[in-house]
Amino acid sequence: GESVGLHLPTLSVQEGDNSIINCAYSNSASDYFIWYKQESGKGPQFIIDIRSNMDKRQGQRVTVLLNKTVKHLSLQIAATQPGDSAVYFCAEHGSSNTGKLIFGQGTTLQVKP
């Protein structure tokens, strides 16, 4: 079946450290992956995306790595700040033309001052 999952439900890091949030997906035909950040009481907010023809994509303080061989996705946050505390979701877009995204369970990132 379709599933996208994250390895750890909660990740606690010290302010200033780098954070790595992992995600495993099951559909090898998925062509697009997105990371969303959801702060308490708010809707998911787009962070960064990557298409399946890429291995790495960098944004401002964030990097997404895609390993299609093992169907693994990761989000790296450099110099983690208190404002990064949130739930992070990976999502995959399958091969359909409907725009349907399948979300993982989410990882809660806690940043300790």
Partner 1 sequence: DTAVSQTPKYLVTQMGNDKSIKCEQNLGHDTMYWYKQDSKKFLKIMFSYNNKELIINETVPNRFSPKSPDKAHLNLHINSLELGDSAVYFCASSRRPSGPPDTQYFGPGTRLTVL
Binding site for partner 1 (CB under 8 A): 31-32, 34, 36, 38, 41-46, 49, 51, 87, 89, 91, 93, 97-103, 105-106
Q: Which is nearer to partner 1, 105 or 110 (CB)?
A: 105
DSSP state of 80: -
Q: Two tokens at 50?
A: 């990557």
DSSP state of 68: T
Q: Which is nearer to partner 1, 80 or 93 (CB)?
A: 93
Exposed, middle or buried by CB within 10 Å (0-12, 13-18, 19+), for 69?
Answer: exposed
Shortest Cβ distance from residue 97 to partner 1 (Å)? Answer: 4
Q: Which is nearer to partner 1, 14 or 26 (CB)?
A: 26
Residue type for 37, please? K
Rounded Cα distance, 17 and 81, in Å: 8
Shortest Cβ distance from residue 91 to partner 1 (Å)? Answer: 8
- Among 96, 97, 62, which residue's Cα sits nearest to residue 79? 62
Shortest Cβ distance from residue 41 to partner 1 (Å)? Answer: 8
Q: Two tokens at 113?
A: 């001052």
Q: Which is nearer to partner 1, 42 or 113 (CB)?
A: 42
